[in-house]
């Protein structure tokens, strides 16, 4: 029996360019990294804002196991039914009670039980329920599952991301940040064995300004006018992180950033 598993997390998929990059590059990347579980953040896949049922189905057909999201998941109302019917499409767990869908899922892959939790930050974002207490409550409920727990924390603030990671150090296998679309270089294993990186970056068009057409982003900054943002169609790269996790202890033993430039 295997002693370790590899969990591959792919950063925010942005528009058609990001979808194409995933279609072309994911299968080979998963093979090269010997990934046992593949998680992608899909909240920007539908032209930069939201996720549709059709795109979700295409992700699963590419080999994705779980789709996480964030504040833009509500942009396409047609995804609401999918959030209710497919437990592997997540919205942040700390939205108020009555919100469509679920914020965590338990599944088995390669003979190993995994739990994936999706959370959203509050600093410089919508002031929803406390992600710290929500995370602690879910982790406590999951203890009887004896699962390897992975968290996607969709948040703006580096401080908030690091604080949550240290708050849960030793309680979960790994925590990644998403949302900023810029991959950070601080991947590490925390003192009690939790793998961490502040942001895994985006799978989307390069060059661009976090996925938006450069000329539009520059004009918005120069004029301070509410010019409509449009997703760039430049060639895309794949960004993410790979965690190697000990099955017995459910602690991270290795972490490596993924940066596949201009896949297509």
Residue 186 lies in a domain: yes
**pTM, whole model, 2 decimals?**
0.95
pLDDT in tens, 7-65: 999 999 999 999 999 999 999 999 999 999 999 999 999 999 999 999 999 999 999 99
Please give the residue that has the higher pLDDT: either 264 or 219: 219
**CA-CA distance, 264 to 258, in Å (whole number)?**
16
In a domain, 226, yes or no: no
In a domain, 224, yes or no: no
Residue 49 confidence (pLDDT): 93
Residue 216: inside a domain, yes or no? no
Can you say whether the dihedral through the CA atoms of 70, 76, 78, 80 is positive or negative?
positive
Tell me, letter by letter, the H, E, C secondary structure of 4-52: EEEEEEECEECHHHHHHHHHHHHHHHHHHHCCCEEEEECCCCCCCCCCC
Give dist(CA 97, CA 93) in Å, integer.
9
pLDDT 10s digits, 160-219: 999 999 999 999 999 999 999 999 999 999 999 999 999 999 998 888 878 778 888 889
CA distances from 159 to 98, 139, 197 (A): 29, 21, 12
Note whether residue 238 is domain-resident.
yes
pLDDT by residue (tens digit) across 114-145?
Answer: 999 999 999 999 999 999 999 999 999 999 99
**147 alpha-carbon distance from chain centroid:** 19
Residue 160 belongs to some domain of the structure: yes
* Residue 263 confidence class, pLDDT cut points 50, 70, 90: low
What was the pLDDT predicted at 214? 83
Mean pLDDT score across all residues of the chain: 95
Cis ω before 211 (30° cut-off from 0):
no
* Per-residue tokens: 37: 């579980």
Count of domains observed in the chain = 1
Q: Give the domain extent around 67.
A: 4-206+233-260
Residue 160's pLDDT is 98
Which residues are catalytically annotated?
A: 72
pLDDT(264) > 60: no
Instruction: Judge whether 125 lies within some domain.
Output: yes
Say whether pLDDT at 75 is over 70. Answer: yes
Which CATH number fits the domain that encloses residue 69? Answer: 3.60.21.10
pLDDT of residue 229: 85
Residue 22 in domain: yes
Q: What is the pLDDT of residue 213?
A: 86
Report the pLDDT value the prediction gives residue 44, as an integer from 0 to 100.
96
> Could you tell me the CA-to-CA distances from 240 to 25, 97, 211 in Å, in that order?
13, 31, 15
């Amino acid at each position: 029996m295997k002693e370790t598993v590899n969990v591959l997390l792919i950063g925010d998929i942005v528009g058609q360019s990001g979808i194409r990059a995933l279609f072309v590059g994911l299968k080979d990347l998963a093979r090269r990294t010997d990934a046992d579980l593949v998680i992608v953040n899909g909240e920007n896949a539908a032209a930069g804002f939201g996720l549709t049922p059709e795109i979700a189905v295409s992700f699963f057909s590419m080999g994705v196991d779980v789709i996480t999201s964030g504040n833009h998941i509500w942009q396409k109302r047609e995804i609401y039914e999918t959030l209710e019917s497919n437990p592997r499409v997540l919205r942040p767990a700390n939205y108020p009670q009555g919100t469509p869908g679920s914020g965590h899922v338990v599944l088995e892959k390669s003979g190993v039980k995994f739990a994936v939790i999706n959370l959203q930050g509050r600093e410089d974002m919508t002031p929803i329920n406390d992600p710290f207490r929500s995370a602690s409550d879910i982790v406590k409920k999951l203890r009887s599952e004896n699962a390897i727990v992975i968290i996607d924390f969709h948040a703006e603030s580096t401080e908030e991301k690091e604080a949550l990671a240290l708050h849960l150090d030793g309680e979960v296998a790994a925590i990644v940040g998403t949302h900023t679309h810029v991959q950070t270089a601080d991947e590490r294993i925390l003192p009690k064995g939790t793998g961490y990186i502040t942001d895994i970056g985006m799978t989307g068009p390069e060059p661009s300004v976090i996925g938006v057409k450069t000329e539009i982003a520059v004009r918005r900054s120069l004029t301070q006018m509410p010019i409509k943002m449009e997703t760039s169609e430049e060639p895309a790269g794949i960004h993410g992180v790979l965690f190697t996790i000990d099955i017995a202890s459910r602690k991270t033993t290795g972490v490596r950033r993924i940066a596949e430039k201009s896949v297509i």
